[in-house]
Amino acid sequence: MRMLTHNLGFPRIGAQRQLKKACEQYWAGSIGRAELFFAAKKIREENWLLQKEAGIGMIPCNDFSFYDQVLDMSLLLGAVPHRYTPVATDIKENAEIDLYFAMARGYQQHGLDITAMEMTKWFDTNYHYIVPEFTAAQQFRILSDKLFHEFNECKRVTETTPKPVLIGPVSYLLLGKEKQNGQEEKQFDKIDLLKQLLPVYIEVLKRLEEAGAVWVQLDEPFLVTDLTEKQQQAFQYAYKEIRKQCNLKILVATYFEGLQENINLAVNLPVCALHVDLVRAPQQIDDVLKAMPPKLSLSLGVVDGRNIWKNDFSKSLALIEKAVTAIGEDRVMLAPSCSLLHSPVDLDGETAIDAEIRNWMAFAKQKLDEVSALNQIKAGNKELLTINARAIESRRNSTRIHKKAVKQRVAEIKDADATRNSAFTVRQSIQQQRFNLPLFPTTTIGSFPQTEDIRQLRARLKKGDLSQQQYEAEIEEATINAIRVQEEIGLDVLVHGEFERNDMVEYFGEQLDGFLFTKNGWVQSYGSRCVKPPVIAGDVSRTSDMTVRWSCFAQAQTSKLMKGMLTGPVTILQWSFVRDDQPRWQTAFQIALAIRDEVNALEKAGIKVIQIDEPAIREGLPLRKKDGPAYLDWAVKAFRLSASGVQDETQIHTHMCYSEFNDIMEHIAKMDADVITIETSRSQMELLEAFARFKYPNEIGPGVYDIHSPRVPTVEEMMYLLEKAVALLPVKNLWVNPDCGLKTRRWTETIAALKNMVQAAQQAREKV
Ligand code: GLN
Ligand code: ZN
């Protein structure tokens, strides 16, 4: 008797990013609907057959999506905001797909101009979903056939009974936002919509049953988060109603964390199986098993769906053994920890990665083989275990990745290493004397427009069409140009423009020891956008200067202050595939020490102002509130380690761009950067109130204009925001800057906007 294996979802972009290409061509009008659908169908077929071949017992369907699975749910359930009604009539054949893309991307055609739905991060991943919008009078109805179509298609292609994947009703509501006419509105609680929503869910499930489905997977990731009493009741109510009216076998899937105090709630839902994430929370196995009611099956998520490392079979088998002993083989299911959406597709093509290291890795396709292998080992195939043990052993001992000196240095970190020599007020007056900057000093966040010709330079260098020397000469020219532009505009603290960087993490990863890069390790970020995170495979160290050459070149071109630009340790960590054989903080500290050496080298080379970007600190926050402080403690320490090796007279900046500081204010202050620049314009400086309430002591540059839009803000608009800032914080602490880097903008709008910004700063100076 073998355990039932299944998969929670497979990446849908295609191993060669075929879906990205097809969608973008369709949007550009260069292919038609039939070709788009054909490309999608081929991806689905390939994925399904691949899973069948891997020996997966229950193959998921409806995990495919043209843009986002949450948006798919909104269309399935008819939660289409009113503003899209004209789109439906505008589209001649009333094509569902065009309405769908309009919701995802906005609609500007035939005199209509309708904004897209909001997008936000999917739990603690780098995947972004389309936020459902609910009104107080929200009605639901089945609007789309996609789910049923894909079920039938999968059944035909695989000759199996597939398992449709849906977002569960409670999580679907919790993912959404209460809105009225497109504006947020808290007049009602979205969870109260459950009454209207459930009959539609039940209708969906009944239709699946009629089509021949046996199992259905309902994703309820909110079960691993802090739940209010009312939300807990919603779970109980929803699943009781479903049970009453539908005979399908329901598997409730949880992932990204342990169930913790929600264990009893989860195991007592009247469903047939519960999926738990034993990669993120292996320790929950004992409590879950103890709480299991007699008939419930347990799906063990033992293969990491969020990372690229080979599974350690001995560890997984220990978990499987426990479950089998407690509840018997026929009630245990095996699966990856979460949907493989968050993994790259196929390791087989990564021939450039050193063979020894490649043997430690697994992408989506390989992960399914691992799930099958675990089942086979349990059934007696010991050879598979031996092969795995050899790979795990080689990784554990390899001198390629384990560097004594690096580990030693982290072990020897002292508190003093993470503390500047003097307190901020002392540093502030030293720096004031040294720099003699005016009130409301102006600066930018780092990057200037990365135009097509700059990106072409890198492509040509890679191809060999451009020598390193020619490439650098071109980059120098772009840098000089950016400096002249900034001087003419009259900015106070200049930047070199970051033209030499492809990406703010990759640029550093490529120069640090311990990183490696994949050819095709793409993961969907949102819609057709994919990211290819670097892999932190081993102990990280800095072998030579990384940015000194460019910062010094830039400083030599101007008598103004030139800000050195670095990416912070937490952001580098957060936007990479991180090794799983040591705690994250340890890897973060290794990176921090490498960045620290670079900061010190910049100082030594004469750079007086250095910015260490940390836009990703907040997104590393754990899903549970109570786990926040422990994470923030090491994250802040990592930043401080990188920043604290310099003299008082060197000014350290940091930059962050997100919209919530309230709950992390204390830690932001603990970072103790001399200057922090943040994104505030879209919230009309509301964000700054958190800093004011906290009496944030250090200098701060609240962004006075939104860089996401090509629109040139007026002097008055920026003055208005500056006045708000003046009302909230001491004038002597205020800087003037845009919200974020200008990489994605064009030169014309950039120059016009910065000119207005400098004028606004001048007016502000005259007013005080
Ligand atoms: N220095 C970076 C830039 O200007 C910061 C980018 C970011 O905050 N994401 O591009
Ligand atoms: Zn930013």
Specify the CATH number for the domain of residue 330: 3.20.20.210
**Whether 687 and 751 share a structural domain:** yes
**pLDDT tens-digit readout, 491-532:** 999 999 999 999 999 999 999 999 999 999 999 999 999 999
Q: Is residue 590 part of a domain?
A: no
Pick from 447, 427, 444: which is nearest to 435 by CA? 427
**Whether 339 and 464 share a structural domain:** no
Pick from 692, 632, 638, 637: which is nearest to 662 by CA? 692
From the annotation, which residues make up the binding site? 20, 121, 126, 445-447, 498, 529-530, 575, 613, 619, 655, 657, 679, 740
Yes or no: say if 143 and 77 are a contact pair by the CB < 8 Å rule. yes
Neighbours of 386 (CB within 10 A): 11
**Whether 393 and 423 share a structural domain:** no
User: With the CA atoms of 417, 422, 425 and 426 taken in that order, what torsion angle do they form, in degrees rounded to the nearest 10?
Assistant: -150
Give the relative orientation of helices 146-158 and 194-210 as an angle to the nearest 10 degrees.
Answer: 30
First to last CA, the chain: 80
**Whether 466 and 351 share a structural domain:** no
**pLDDT attached to residue 183:** 78
What are the backbone angles phi and psi of residue 528, rounded to the nearest 5°? -90, 0
**pLDDT tens-digit readout, 56-70:** 999 999 999 999 999
Residue 532 and residue 276: Cα distance in Å, rounded? 27
Neighbours of 560 (CB within 10 A): 15
Nearest 5°: the CA angle 100, 364, 168 is 45
**pLDDT attached to residue 1:** 56
Note every long-range contact of 182-186, with CB atoms under 8 Å and residues 24 or more positions apart, other chains counting: 182/81, 182/83, 182/115, 182/133, 185/136
Q: Is residue 689 part of a domain?
A: yes
Residue 449 and residue 457: Cα distance in Å, rounded? 14
Residue 311 and residue 387: Cα distance in Å, rounded? 12
Nearest 5°: the CA angle 419, 420, 421 is 115
State in Å: Cα 585 to ligand 1 middle. 23
Yes or no: say if 527 and 104 are a contact pair by the CB < 8 Å rule. yes
Residue recorded with tokens 């720099």: 435
To test the ligand 1 pocket, which listed residue (126, 447, 618, 658) has its Cβ within 8 A of the most ligand atoms? 447
- Average pLDDT rounded to a whole number, residues 258-271: 98
Strand, helix or coil for residue 5: strand
Q: Is residue 484 part of a domain?
A: yes
In our burial notation (b when 16+ CB lie closer than 10 A, e otherwise), range 300-316 reads bbbbbbbbbbbbbbeeb
Yes or no: say if 319 and 296 are a contact pair by the CB < 8 Å rule. no
Residue 162 and residue 61: Cα distance in Å, rounded? 6
Please tell me the number of Cα atoms within 13 Å of 668 on its side-chain side: 33
Q: Is residue 673 part of a domain?
A: yes
**pLDDT attached to residue 768:** 87
Which residues make beta-bridge pairs with 335? 301
| DSSP-assigned states of every residue in 145-203 | -HHHHHHHHHHHHHSS--EEEEE-HHHHHHHSEEEETTEE--SS-GGGGHHHHHHHHHH
Q: Is residue 588 part of a domain?
A: no
State in Å: Cα 735 to ligand 2 middle. 15
The tokens describing 627, both together, are 């786990």
Residue 65 and residue 341: Cα distance in Å, rounded? 11
- Average pLDDT rounded to a whole number, residues 32-56: 97
Closest Cα to atom 4, ligand 1: which residue? 741
State in Å: Cα 68 to ligand 1 middle. 26
**pLDDT attached to residue 73:** 98
Domain span holding position 68: 4-81+117-397
From the annotation, which residues make up the binding site for 5-methyltetrahydropteroyltri-L-glutamate? 20, 121, 126, 529-530, 575, 619
Closest Cα to atom 10, ligand 1: which residue? 741
pTM for the full model? 0.95
Q: Is the model's pLDDT at 445 over the cut of 80? A: yes
- Average pLDDT rounded to a whole number, residues 655-663: 87
Q: Is the model's pLDDT at 465 over the cut of 70? A: yes
**Whether 376 and 434 share a structural domain:** no
The tokens describing 141, both together, are 């109805």
Pick from 475, 469, 471: which is nearest to 459 by CA? 471
**pLDDT attached to residue 595:** 99
Q: Is the model's pLDDT at 94 over the cut of 70? A: no
Ligand 1 pocket, Cβ-based, cut-off 6 angstroms = 445-447, 498, 504, 565, 613, 615, 655, 657, 740-741, 743
Residue 620 and residue 635: Cα distance in Å, rounded? 9
**Whether 487 and 344 share a structural domain:** no
Q: Of 350, 370, 397, which residue constitutes the final position of a domain? A: 397
Q: Is residue 527 part of a domain?
A: no
To test the ligand 1 pocket, which listed residue (499, 500, 504) has its Cβ within 8 A of the most ligand atoms? 504
Alpha helices in 575-713 (DSSP H): 584-604, 628-643, 665-671, 688-693
Residues with a known catalytic role: 708
At 350, which amino acid appears? E
Pick from 160, 147, 163: which is nearest to 53 by CA? 160
Q: Of 352, 373, 397, which residue constitutes the final position of a domain? A: 397
**Whether 389 and 418 share a structural domain:** no
Name residues with Cβ closer than 5 Å to ligand 2, which is an ion. Answer: 615, 657, 740
**Whether 389 and 423 share a structural domain:** no
**pLDDT attached to residue 371:** 98
- Average pLDDT rounded to a whole number, residues 440-463: 97
Q: Is residue 712 part of a domain?
A: yes
**Whether 264 and 370 share a structural domain:** yes
| DSSP-assigned states of every residue in 391-447 | HHHHHHH-TTT--HHHHHHHHT--GGGGS-SS-HHHHHHHHHHHH-PPSS-BB--SB
Pick from 728, 716, 729: which is nearest to 764 by CA? 716
Ligand 1 atom nearest the C-alpha of 567 is 1
**pLDDT attached to residue 88:** 75
**Whether 252 and 339 share a structural domain:** yes
Please tell me the number of Cα atoms within 13 Å of 756 on its side-chain side: 19
Residue 29 and residue 22: Cα distance in Å, rounded? 10
Give the CA distances from residue 437 to residues 246, 431, 730, 732, in Å, rounded to whole numbers and listed in that order: 70, 9, 16, 11
In percent, the amount of the chain with pLDDT more than 90 equals 93
Distance of CA 699 to the CA centre of its chain: 29
What are the backbone angles phi and psi of residue 301, rounded to the nearest 5°? -85, 90
Among all bound ligands, the one having the nearest atom to the CA of 503 is 1
To test the ligand 1 pocket, which listed residue (443, 445, 656) has its Cβ within 8 A of the most ligand atoms? 445
At 200, which amino acid appears? V
Counted domains in the chain: 2
**Whether 351 and 449 share a structural domain:** no
Q: For residue 30, what pLDDT band results from cuts at 50, 70 and 90? A: very high
**pLDDT attached to residue 452:** 95
Yes or no: say if 434 and 649 are a contact pair by the CB < 8 Å rule. yes
Closest Cα to atom 5, ligand 1: which residue? 741
What are the backbone angles phi and psi of residue 5, rounded to the nearest 5°? -105, 150
**Whether 291 and 440 share a structural domain:** no
Residue recorded with tokens 């030169």: 747
Pick from 677, 610, 675: which is nearest to 647 by CA? 610
Q: Is residue 450 part of a domain?
A: yes
Among all bound ligands, the one having the nearest atom to the CA of 708 is 2
State in Å: Cα 102 to ligand 2 middle. 27
Residue 163 and residue 166: Cα distance in Å, rounded? 10
Give the CA distances from residue 574 to residues 265, 640, 740, in Å, rounded to whole numbers and listed in that order: 32, 17, 19
Indicate the range of 300-309, 390-399, 550-559, 654-663 predicted with least confidence: 654-663
Q: Is the model's pLDDT at 745 over the cut of 70? A: yes
Q: Of 364, 397, 430, which residue constitutes the final position of a domain? A: 397
**pLDDT attached to residue 108:** 85
**pLDDT tens-digit readout, 151-198:** 999 999 999 999 999 999 999 999 999 998 777 778 899 999 999 999
Yes or no: say if 271 and 252 are a contact pair by the CB < 8 Å rule. yes
